[in-house]
Amino acid sequence: MIFKEKVTLITGASQGIGEAIAEEFGRAGATVVLVDIQKGKLDQVASRLAGMGIRAIAYEADVTKSSQVTEVTEEAIKSQGRIDHLINNAGITRDSLLLRMKEEDWDSVVGVNLKGSFNFTRAVLKHMFSARYGRIVNISSVVGLMGNFGQSNYAASKAGLIGFSKSVAREVATRGITVNCVAPGYIGTSMTEKLSQDVQKAFLEIIPMRRFGLPVEVARVVKFLCSEDAAYITGQVINVNGGMYM
Protein backbone atom coordinates (compact mmCIF):
# COMPACT_ATOMS: atom_id res chain seq x y z
CA MET A 1 0.00 0.00 0.00
CA ILE A 2 2.58 2.59 -1.08
CA PHE A 3 -0.08 5.29 -1.59
CA LYS A 4 -1.97 4.86 1.68
CA GLU A 5 -3.53 8.23 2.60
CA LYS A 6 -2.51 9.76 -0.74
CA VAL A 7 -4.98 11.38 -3.14
CA THR A 8 -4.55 11.02 -6.90
CA LEU A 9 -6.45 13.07 -9.47
CA ILE A 10 -6.64 11.48 -12.92
CA THR A 11 -8.15 13.16 -15.98
CA GLY A 12 -9.70 11.11 -18.78
CA ALA A 13 -10.37 8.35 -16.26
CA SER A 14 -13.53 6.82 -17.70
CA GLN A 15 -11.74 4.31 -19.96
CA GLY A 16 -8.45 3.13 -21.43
CA ILE A 17 -5.16 4.21 -19.88
CA GLY A 18 -6.81 6.63 -17.40
CA GLU A 19 -9.04 3.88 -16.02
CA ALA A 20 -6.03 1.56 -15.69
CA ILE A 21 -4.09 4.28 -13.82
CA ALA A 22 -7.05 4.79 -11.45
CA GLU A 23 -7.20 1.07 -10.69
CA GLU A 24 -3.42 0.76 -10.23
CA PHE A 25 -3.26 3.73 -7.82
CA GLY A 26 -6.40 2.57 -6.00
CA ARG A 27 -4.89 -0.90 -5.51
CA ALA A 28 -1.83 0.83 -4.03
CA GLY A 29 -4.05 2.50 -1.41
CA ALA A 30 -4.72 5.93 -2.95
CA THR A 31 -8.07 7.68 -2.98
CA VAL A 32 -8.69 8.32 -6.65
CA VAL A 33 -10.42 11.43 -7.97
CA LEU A 34 -11.69 10.64 -11.46
CA VAL A 35 -12.36 13.40 -13.98
CA ASP A 36 -13.90 12.99 -17.43
CA ILE A 37 -16.55 14.40 -19.75
CA GLN A 38 -18.29 11.02 -20.04
CA LYS A 39 -20.38 11.06 -16.86
CA GLY A 40 -22.13 7.69 -17.33
CA LYS A 41 -18.89 5.79 -17.99
CA LEU A 42 -17.13 7.63 -15.19
CA ASP A 43 -19.79 6.57 -12.67
CA GLN A 44 -19.49 2.96 -13.86
CA VAL A 45 -15.71 3.04 -13.34
CA ALA A 46 -16.15 4.63 -9.90
CA SER A 47 -18.59 1.92 -8.79
CA ARG A 48 -16.43 -0.87 -10.26
CA LEU A 49 -13.46 0.46 -8.27
CA ALA A 50 -15.59 0.92 -5.15
CA GLY A 51 -16.56 -2.78 -5.52
CA MET A 52 -12.83 -3.57 -5.23
CA GLY A 53 -12.60 -1.58 -1.99
CA ILE A 54 -11.02 1.47 -3.64
CA ARG A 55 -12.11 4.98 -2.57
CA ALA A 56 -13.11 6.61 -5.87
CA ILE A 57 -14.82 9.96 -6.43
CA ALA A 58 -16.09 10.97 -9.87
CA TYR A 59 -16.38 14.51 -11.24
CA GLU A 60 -17.74 15.41 -14.65
CA ALA A 61 -15.58 18.18 -16.08
CA ASP A 62 -14.07 19.30 -19.36
CA VAL A 63 -10.32 19.87 -19.00
CA THR A 64 -10.43 22.69 -21.56
CA LYS A 65 -12.74 24.78 -19.35
CA SER A 66 -10.63 26.48 -16.70
CA SER A 67 -13.68 27.36 -14.55
CA GLN A 68 -14.70 23.68 -14.37
CA VAL A 69 -11.11 22.65 -13.63
CA THR A 70 -10.84 25.14 -10.76
CA GLU A 71 -14.21 24.03 -9.37
CA VAL A 72 -13.31 20.32 -9.42
CA THR A 73 -9.89 20.99 -7.87
CA GLU A 74 -11.39 23.07 -5.06
CA GLU A 75 -14.12 20.48 -4.38
CA ALA A 76 -11.60 17.65 -4.30
CA ILE A 77 -9.37 19.60 -1.91
CA LYS A 78 -12.38 20.43 0.27
CA SER A 79 -13.56 16.84 0.49
CA GLN A 80 -10.17 15.05 0.59
CA GLY A 81 -7.97 17.74 2.12
CA ARG A 82 -5.16 17.25 -0.42
CA ILE A 83 -4.07 16.23 -3.91
CA ASP A 84 -0.71 14.46 -3.92
CA HIS A 85 -0.63 13.24 -7.51
CA LEU A 86 -1.97 14.81 -10.68
CA ILE A 87 -2.10 12.66 -13.80
CA ASN A 88 -2.94 14.67 -16.93
CA ASN A 89 -4.15 11.85 -19.14
CA ALA A 90 -7.23 13.18 -21.00
CA GLY A 91 -6.45 13.24 -24.70
CA ILE A 92 -8.06 13.13 -28.12
CA THR A 93 -7.06 12.67 -31.77
CA ARG A 94 -8.54 14.36 -34.85
CA ASP A 95 -6.31 12.98 -37.59
CA SER A 96 -5.92 14.40 -41.06
CA LEU A 97 -3.20 15.51 -43.44
CA LEU A 98 -2.13 19.06 -42.69
CA LEU A 99 -3.40 20.47 -45.99
CA ARG A 100 -6.88 19.14 -45.23
CA MET A 101 -6.83 19.84 -41.50
CA LYS A 102 -9.65 22.01 -40.28
CA GLU A 103 -8.81 24.79 -37.85
CA GLU A 104 -11.23 23.26 -35.32
CA ASP A 105 -9.32 19.92 -35.48
CA TRP A 106 -6.14 21.75 -34.57
CA ASP A 107 -7.81 23.78 -31.83
CA SER A 108 -9.65 20.88 -30.20
CA VAL A 109 -6.60 18.57 -30.07
CA VAL A 110 -4.26 21.26 -28.75
CA GLY A 111 -7.06 22.43 -26.43
CA VAL A 112 -7.63 19.08 -24.73
CA ASN A 113 -4.11 17.62 -24.83
CA LEU A 114 -2.07 20.72 -24.04
CA LYS A 115 -4.28 23.44 -22.58
CA GLY A 116 -6.17 20.87 -20.50
CA SER A 117 -2.90 19.89 -18.83
CA PHE A 118 -2.00 23.56 -18.32
CA ASN A 119 -5.41 24.19 -16.70
CA PHE A 120 -5.15 21.30 -14.23
CA THR A 121 -1.46 21.79 -13.46
CA ARG A 122 -2.00 25.45 -12.62
CA ALA A 123 -5.03 24.71 -10.45
CA VAL A 124 -3.45 21.84 -8.50
CA LEU A 125 0.07 23.26 -8.21
CA LYS A 126 -1.10 25.96 -5.81
CA HIS A 127 -2.04 23.28 -3.27
CA MET A 128 1.09 21.23 -3.90
CA PHE A 129 3.13 24.39 -3.27
CA SER A 130 1.65 24.87 0.17
CA ALA A 131 1.98 21.15 0.93
CA ARG A 132 5.57 21.29 -0.36
CA TYR A 133 4.94 17.95 -2.00
CA GLY A 134 3.53 16.73 -5.28
CA ARG A 135 3.89 14.43 -8.24
CA ILE A 136 2.68 15.46 -11.68
CA VAL A 137 2.73 13.02 -14.59
CA ASN A 138 1.69 14.16 -18.05
CA ILE A 139 0.76 11.52 -20.61
CA SER A 140 2.56 12.45 -23.82
CA SER A 141 3.06 10.03 -26.74
CA VAL A 142 5.68 8.42 -28.93
CA VAL A 143 4.13 10.58 -31.66
CA GLY A 144 5.28 13.72 -29.82
CA LEU A 145 8.86 12.45 -30.16
CA MET A 146 8.91 11.02 -33.68
CA GLY A 147 5.97 12.72 -35.47
CA ASN A 148 3.39 10.79 -37.44
CA PHE A 149 1.73 11.01 -40.82
CA GLY A 150 -1.69 12.66 -40.45
CA GLN A 151 -1.16 13.66 -36.83
CA SER A 152 0.55 17.07 -36.94
CA ASN A 153 -1.97 18.49 -34.44
CA TYR A 154 -1.62 15.54 -32.06
CA ALA A 155 2.20 15.44 -32.39
CA ALA A 156 2.43 19.18 -31.71
CA SER A 157 0.24 18.86 -28.61
CA LYS A 158 2.22 15.91 -27.24
CA ALA A 159 5.63 17.50 -28.00
CA GLY A 160 4.33 20.71 -26.41
CA LEU A 161 3.46 18.76 -23.30
CA ILE A 162 7.10 17.68 -22.99
CA GLY A 163 8.39 21.27 -23.16
CA PHE A 164 5.68 22.34 -20.72
CA SER A 165 6.59 19.57 -18.25
CA LYS A 166 10.33 20.32 -18.36
CA SER A 167 9.69 24.04 -17.76
CA VAL A 168 7.32 23.47 -14.83
CA ALA A 169 9.70 20.83 -13.42
CA ARG A 170 12.40 23.52 -13.22
CA GLU A 171 10.02 26.02 -11.59
CA VAL A 172 8.87 23.69 -8.80
CA ALA A 173 11.88 21.45 -8.16
CA THR A 174 12.82 23.09 -4.85
CA ARG A 175 9.28 22.62 -3.50
CA GLY A 176 9.30 18.82 -3.33
CA ILE A 177 7.31 18.58 -6.53
CA THR A 178 8.34 16.49 -9.54
CA VAL A 179 6.95 16.78 -13.06
CA ASN A 180 7.52 14.03 -15.61
CA CYS A 181 6.07 12.68 -18.83
CA VAL A 182 5.24 9.16 -19.83
CA ALA A 183 5.26 8.64 -23.59
CA PRO A 184 3.32 5.51 -24.52
CA GLY A 185 3.72 3.83 -27.89
CA TYR A 186 0.71 1.98 -29.29
CA ILE A 187 -1.48 0.78 -26.46
CA GLY A 188 -4.62 -1.30 -26.98
CA THR A 189 -7.45 1.15 -26.16
CA SER A 190 -10.40 2.66 -28.03
CA MET A 191 -7.95 5.28 -29.40
CA THR A 192 -6.00 2.60 -31.31
CA GLU A 193 -8.98 0.31 -32.06
CA LYS A 194 -10.12 3.07 -34.45
CA LEU A 195 -7.10 2.33 -36.70
CA SER A 196 -7.72 0.11 -39.74
CA GLN A 197 -6.39 -3.47 -39.71
CA ASP A 198 -3.78 -2.48 -42.33
CA VAL A 199 -2.49 0.43 -40.24
CA GLN A 200 -2.40 -1.77 -37.12
CA LYS A 201 -0.38 -4.38 -39.05
CA ALA A 202 2.04 -1.74 -40.31
CA PHE A 203 2.61 -0.46 -36.78
CA LEU A 204 3.24 -3.96 -35.44
CA GLU A 205 6.05 -4.29 -37.95
CA ILE A 206 7.90 -1.29 -36.52
CA ILE A 207 7.49 -2.36 -32.88
CA PRO A 208 10.43 -4.62 -31.97
CA MET A 209 8.28 -6.44 -29.40
CA ARG A 210 5.65 -7.11 -32.12
CA ARG A 211 2.69 -6.33 -29.92
CA PHE A 212 0.69 -3.36 -28.69
CA GLY A 213 1.13 -2.40 -25.05
CA LEU A 214 -1.47 -2.88 -22.33
CA PRO A 215 -2.96 0.08 -20.42
CA VAL A 216 -1.69 -1.43 -17.16
CA GLU A 217 1.88 -1.38 -18.53
CA VAL A 218 1.60 2.41 -18.79
CA ALA A 219 -0.16 2.68 -15.42
CA ARG A 220 2.67 0.89 -13.60
CA VAL A 221 5.27 3.36 -14.90
CA VAL A 222 3.07 6.28 -13.82
CA LYS A 223 2.83 4.62 -10.39
CA PHE A 224 6.62 4.32 -10.20
CA LEU A 225 7.05 8.02 -11.06
CA CYS A 226 4.70 8.93 -8.20
CA SER A 227 6.42 6.63 -5.71
CA GLU A 228 9.22 7.48 -3.28
CA ASP A 229 11.56 5.37 -5.43
CA ALA A 230 11.31 8.11 -8.07
CA ALA A 231 11.93 11.01 -5.67
CA TYR A 232 15.02 12.21 -7.59
CA ILE A 233 13.47 11.96 -11.07
CA THR A 234 12.07 15.14 -12.59
CA GLY A 235 11.74 16.69 -16.04
CA GLN A 236 12.06 13.28 -17.72
CA VAL A 237 10.21 11.52 -20.50
CA ILE A 238 9.82 7.79 -19.93
CA ASN A 239 9.03 5.79 -23.05
CA VAL A 240 6.68 2.81 -22.77
CA ASN A 241 6.62 1.67 -26.37
CA GLY A 242 7.97 -1.86 -26.86
CA GLY A 243 11.11 -0.37 -28.42
CA MET A 244 9.23 1.42 -31.21
CA TYR A 245 11.27 4.59 -30.65
CA MET A 246 14.61 4.46 -28.84
Ligand X SMILES: NC(=O)c1ccc[n+]([C@@H]2O[C@H](COP(=O)([O-])OP(=O)(O)OC[C@H]3O[C@@H](n4cnc5c(N)ncnc54)[C@H](O)[C@@H]3O)[C@@H](O)[C@H]2O)c1
Catalytic pick from 59, 133, 154, 245?
A: 154
- Per rule CB under 6 A, is residue 138 in the interface with ligand X? no
For the packed helices 116-131 and 66-80, what is the interaxial angle rounded to 10 degrees? 30
- Per rule CB under 6 A, is residue 49 in the interface with ligand X? no
Applying CB under 6 A, among 151, 192, 234, 239 the residue interacting with ligand X is 192
List the x/- string, 91-110, binding to ligand X by CB under 6 A: xx------------------
- Per rule CB under 6 A, is residue 165 in the interface with ligand X? no
Q: Compare residues 38 and 227 and give the one whose CB is closer to ligand X.
A: 38
Please tell me the distance from the alpha carbon of residue 216 to that of residue 205, in angstroms, as a whole number.
22
Told to judge if 154 belongs to the known catalytic residues of this protein, a careful annotator would answer: yes
| Residue 23 Cα to chain centre, angstroms | 14
Which window, 2-10, 35-43, 45-53, 219-227, contacts ligand X (CB under 6 A)? 35-43
Sign (positive/negative) of CA torsion 209, 181, 66, 107? negative
- φ and ψ at residue 230, rounded to 5 degrees: -105, 20
**Shortest distance, CB of residue 132 to ligand X, whole angstroms?**
28
Q: Where are the beta strands (DSSP E) in the chain?
A: 7-11, 31-36, 56-60, 85-88, 134-139, 177-184, 237-240
- Per rule CB under 6 A, is residue 216 in the interface with ligand X? no
| Residue 31 Cα to chain centre, angstroms | 17
Which window, 34-42, 77-85, 202-210, 221-229, contacts ligand X (CB under 6 A)? 34-42
State the CB neighbour count (10 A cutoff) for residue 24: 23
- Per rule CB under 6 A, is residue 117 in the interface with ligand X? no
Please tell me the distance from the alpha carbon of residue 46 to that of residue 13, in angstroms, as a whole number.
9
Q: Can you give the C-alpha Rg of the chain in angstroms?
A: 17
- Per rule CB under 6 A, is residue 26 in the interface with ligand X? no
- Per rule CB under 6 A, is residue 16 in the interface with ligand X? yes
- Using CB under 6 A, list all residues that contact ligand X: 11-12, 14-18, 36-38, 62-64, 89-92, 112, 116, 139, 141, 184, 186-187, 189-192
